[in-house]
Amino acid sequence: MDTSTDAVHSTRRPRRAPRRTRLRNALIAGGLVVVLSVGGTVAWAADRFLIEHVEIADVSEYEAENSTVDTEAIADLSDSETAVLTDTSYTDGDSEITVSTVVTGSGDDTLTYYVADVVVSDATQLRSAFAKDQFGENIIETTSEIAADHDAVLAINGDYYGFRDTGIVVRNGVAYRDEGARDGLAFYTDGRVEVYDETTTTAQELLDAGVWNTLSFGPAIVEDGEVVDGIENVEIDTNVGNHSIQGEQPRTAVGVIDDNHYVFVVVDGRDPGYSRGATLTELAEIMTELGAETAYNLDGGGSSTMYFNSEVINQPSNDGERATSDILYVAY
């Protein structure tokens, strides 16, 4: 792949005005039109896709009481007196983040994506956060809002766990959901990252094994440093009205290069001449070129967002950020 890499601010176009708190892409805009047209289903559709179902109202307090890791010790890992922040990098002791923009192709074949190379001194510096600091279904905020609330220097959208009621959800050393359904991604406190089958284990077994965070979306696109075969045929969350994840789409992916060394990629799309979007195979190839041994696809489309140094640095495809349920982030 013929690529050119520039500083993160050099390829961005003027930011488009955000549209706050919209319904979940075409699922709500299109799929619900069908659902709502059927008598007797209006209440069901609103309950399933729109109404917040709060299971835990104060996640910060809940994690402080239940996390398997000392959260005060995590805070002590960062020393703001030694931290150095620029437009494209953040360094704090042994932890370092470098952000860049890559543009390939030309004309309608142009592809633009954003890369964050992340090295942390301790795996627990890579954290997760929920919208409104609450856990449950249909609870949403933009990536930037969640990131700002948690003093994130870098953040990407997560797996949109709140759109479904299945999947194992372990975040920051706490189990929130134990409904195995698909291949997930597990981040361990020793820095390892592994793809695993949710249906063969439990949230408690993962915690006992040292898992710090899990993600439940997929598919896994890189394993053992190789592009996974057949990823273009995988369907994720084929709920009524859901768009296929196939084809050229905005994308978000997370990969691991080595223990405590991660790479985040956000691909912009649906904007010919600026960025067409990537197929899953192209996304996997990007990750292998960046050195990822393992990589995993996250919620994409209008959700795909990268936030760094207090601003969104990519161009989300919805003319602004789409609200989501969770983020992965590194704090100041």
Mind giving me the DSSP string for 32-87?
HHHHHTSTT-HHHHHHHHTS-EEEES-HHHHHHHH-SS-HHHHHHT--TTT-EE-S
For residue 109, give Cα distances in angstroms to 104, 248, 276: 8, 11, 6
| Residue 241 counted as domain residue | yes
Instruction: Give the 3-state secondary structure of 243-277.
Output: CCCCCCECEEEEEEEECCEEEEEEECCCECCCECC
pLDDT for residue 169 is more than 60:
yes
pLDDT for residue 72 is more than 80:
no
Which string of b and e fits 88-106 if b means at least 16 CB within 10 Å?
Answer: bbbebeebbbebbbbbbee
Higher pLDDT, 14 or 39: 39
| Residue 270 counted as domain residue | yes
Could you report the per-residue pLDDT of 144-154, keeping only the tens digit for each? 999 999 999 99
Contacts of residue 238, defined as CB under 8 A and 6 or more positions apart, other chains included, come to: none
Q: What is the pLDDT of residue 10?
A: 40
Q: What is the pLDDT of residue 76?
A: 60
Contact 305, 265 (CB under 8 A): no
Contacts of residue 229, defined as CB under 8 A and 6 or more positions apart, other chains included, come to: none
Coil, helix or strand at residue 176: strand
| Residue 32 counted as domain residue | no
Q: What is the pLDDT of residue 47?
A: 86
Closest CA to 297 of 206, 220, 236, 212: 220
Q: What is the pLDDT of residue 246?
A: 84
| Residue 268 counted as domain residue | yes
pLDDT for residue 26 is more than 60:
no
pLDDT for residue 288 is more than 80:
yes
| Residue 39 counted as domain residue | no
pLDDT band at 14 (very low <50, low <70, confident <90, very high): very low
Q: What is the pLDDT of residue 242?
A: 45
Q: What is the pLDDT of residue 5?
A: 39
| Residue 179 counted as domain residue | yes
Closest CA to 322 of 299, 296, 288: 299
Closest CA to 254 of 227, 225, 228, 215: 215
State how far the Cα of 49 lies from the Cα of 54, in Å rounded to an integer: 13
Structural domain of 275: 4-9+55-331
Percent of the chain exceeding pLDDT 90 equals: 74
| Residue 117 counted as domain residue | yes
The total number of structural domains that make up the chain: 1
Contact 167, 161 (CB under 8 A): yes
Across the range 197-205, mean pLDDT stands at 98
Least confident range of 175-189, 197-211, 239-253, 316-330: 239-253
Percent of the chain exceeding pLDDT 70 equals: 82
State how far the Cα of 301 lies from the Cα of 320, in Å rounded to an integer: 12
pLDDT for residue 134 is more than 90:
yes
pLDDT for residue 322 is more than 60:
yes
pLDDT band at 238 (very low <50, low <70, confident <90, very high): low
**Mean of per-residue pLDDT scores for the chain:** 87
pLDDT for residue 3 is more than 90:
no
Could you report the per-residue pLDDT of 75-93, keeping only the tens digit for each? 565 556 789 999 999 999 9
N-to-C CA span, the chain? 34
| Residue 183 counted as domain residue | yes
Q: What is the pLDDT of residue 45?
A: 79
Q: What is the pLDDT of residue 80?
A: 61
pTM to 2 decimal places = 0.86
pLDDT for residue 65 is more than 70:
yes
